[in-house]
Chain A
Amino acid sequence: MALTKDQIAQTIAKELEDGFYVNLGIGIPTLVANYVPKDIQIMLQSENGLLGMGEFPTEEELDPDLINAGKQTVTAIDGAAIFNSSESFAMIRGGHVDLTVLGAFEVDQKGNLASWMIPKKLIKGMGGAMDLVAGAENIIVAMTHANKHGESKILKECSLPLTGVNCVKKVVTDLAVMELIDGKFHLLKRAPGVSVEEIQSKTQAELVINGDIEELTF
């Protein structure tokens, strides 16, 4: 069975380390916040100017002046800090954010990622994604392995306009966990019941398979 969105988020949450500052993109990455291991402490950065993003507010707490980068109303945790956009991107560009999790349309074995534009179809803008991928120390991409026609999104070379180059470190899809090492994807884990052959057949990029590949457990 392919992983659900929540299982992808759960898998990524295992990569979190105690003391991490983390930026979560819109979509599946946002769900990672629900699976932070209980025995560690992390802080979420929202690039519109909030370090220490909390849960959604109650009706009583609702404040139009406190939103996240997805423009949703949120709260600030005790110990949060508020700052302007320039300061926010100074911490992003300056490499102070330990981990960025974001979605993508395509990734390739050069570590390139395309996530912001489908020519003539979807032209909404890159928001902060180009800054995040250029600045983060570590990037995990959350995405589906293939499109709805079964075509691979894990490519030798991205076909869509790029968001960033040579920046992807790890990819968690609905089928597999892969790490990019020296220009090749290495298969680390597979979704329960999904065969190595199926993953191979849906991966256009070079895929290194060493020994038995463990199944993810939930």
Chain B
Amino acid sequence: MSGLNKVVDTYDQALAGIKDDMLLMVGGFGLCGIPEGLIQKVADSGVKNLTCISNNAGVDGFGLGKLLEKRQIKKMIGSYVGENKLFEQLFLSGEMEVELTPQGTIAEKIRATGAGIPGFYTATGYGTQIAEGKEVKEFNGRKYILEEAYPKADFALVKAWKADKFGNLIFKNTAANFNPMIATAGKITVVEVEEIVEPGQLDPNFVHTPGIYVDRVILGEFEKRIEQRTVKGK
């Protein structure tokens, strides 16, 4: 009996059940707060025809860039993909389908998925290409478009700073970004963390994501590559 203990020891266990054609949501903003080891394991597994929802698509050779190299992604849903030459090439050649979506709308769609809300109205994107084919409704004299929640992800891949064995999570600094919402939106939510502690060692007042959303926790190792290294002159 593992009870409420969510901890797994290997990446094989962490991603047990992953298959071709699945929908994945992957946390991170740029390379900040990405589940590095889980992405590597998806690359190694060779599963293909994936649909990935992630704000960005990594850089060439790192983050989701690893899945692009092996042509594992059939469709990418994100808000900004400018850091990746291979991505551009796959997109322009039509090898990969891309759905560009405003960042706040992605965040809210994922939140809605996890919260059991099928859709919501937003002014974001009204009057632009993004609104094409979407219902428009007026509230108090302003026009809004209907955005629908995503289906639940087959796997939600999340990076957190600390977890306890029950899967309660704490994120660090701006490495939180999309991770807390994605944690709520998976059929199977897998979290890669820097530290695992015993239940009771995280102050319940400071838990960001309650363990109810989390299925598996694995202790990872992180390179934490920096995209734009900017420092103050001496």
Instruction: Give me the interface of A with B, judged by CB distance under 8 Å.
Output: 46-50, 55-59, 62-68, 70-74, 76, 82-86, 88-89, 92-93, 112, 123-131, 134-135, 161-166
Known: A73-B228, A86-B111, A130-B105; 14 extra A-B contacts, CB below 8 A, are A66-B174, A67-B226, A71-B29, A73-B226, A84-B176, A84-B181, A85-B106, A86-B108, A124-B82, A127-B103, A128-B79, A162-B127, A165-B128, A166-B127
Q: List 24 A-B contacts (CB under 8 A).
A: A47-B103, A49-B177, A56-B230, A62-B226, A64-B32, A65-B172, A67-B29, A68-B174, A70-B228, A84-B177, A85-B178, A86-B107, A86-B108, A88-B107, A89-B104, A89-B108, A93-B122, A123-B92, A124-B80, A131-B104, A134-B123, A134-B124, A134-B126, A163-B128
Nearest Cβ on chain B to A30's Cβ, whole angstroms: 11
A-B contacts at CB below 8 angstroms, number: 170
- Is B225 on the interface with A (CB-CB < 8 A)? yes
Q: Do A85 and B107 touch across chains, with their CB atoms under 8 A apart?
A: yes
In the bound assembly, the distance between CA atoms of A42 and B174 in angstroms comes to: 20
Q: Which residues of A contact B91 (CB under 8 A)?
A: 123
B231 at the interface (CB under 8 A from A): yes
Tell me whether B174 and A50 are in contact (CB under 8 A).
yes
User: Do the beta carbons of A71 and B127 come within 8 Å of each other?
Assistant: no
B125 within 8 A of A: yes
Q: Report the Cα distance A166→B126, complex, angstroms.
A: 10
Q: How many residues of B contact A (CB 8 A)?
A: 56
Q: Which residues of A contact B180 (CB under 8 A)?
A: 84, 86
Contacts of B125 in A (CB 8 A): 130, 134
A48 to B177, CA, bound (A): 6
The answer to whether the Cβ of B173 comes within 8 Å of any Cβ in the partner chain is yes
How far apart are the CA atoms of A123 and B99 in the complex, in Å?
11
Interface contact B176-A83, CB-CB below 8 Å: yes
- B129 at the binding interface (Cβ < 8 Å): yes
A48: nearest chain-B partner, CB-CB: B29
Residue of A nearest to B84 (CB): A124
**Main secondary structure on chain A at its contact with chain B?**
loop
Count chain A CB atoms within 10 A of each CB in B110, B174, B229 and give the residue with the most: B174
Q: Which residues of B contact A58 (CB under 8 A)?
A: 231-232
Instruction: Tell whether, in the assembled complex, residue A65 and residue B174 are in contact, meaning their CB atoms are under 8 Å apart.
Output: yes
A93-B123 contact in complex given A50-B174, A64-B225, A82-B174, C-beta closer than 8 Å = yes
Q: When A55-B232, A62-B231, A72-B230 are in contact, do A93 and B103 touch as well, CB less than 8 Å? A: no
The reply on B86 being an interface residue by CB < 8 A is: no
Tell me which residues across on chain B come within 8 A of A73, comparing CB atoms. Answer: 226, 228-231
In contact, A57 and B231 (Cβ under 8 angstroms): yes
Contact of A65 among B33, B55, B81, B110 (CB under 8 A): B33
What residues of chain B lie closer than 8 Å to A82, measured between beta carbons? Answer: 173-174, 176
Across the interface, do A49 and B228 meet the contact criterion of CB distance under 8 Å? no
Interface status of B202 (Cβ within 8 A of chain A):
no
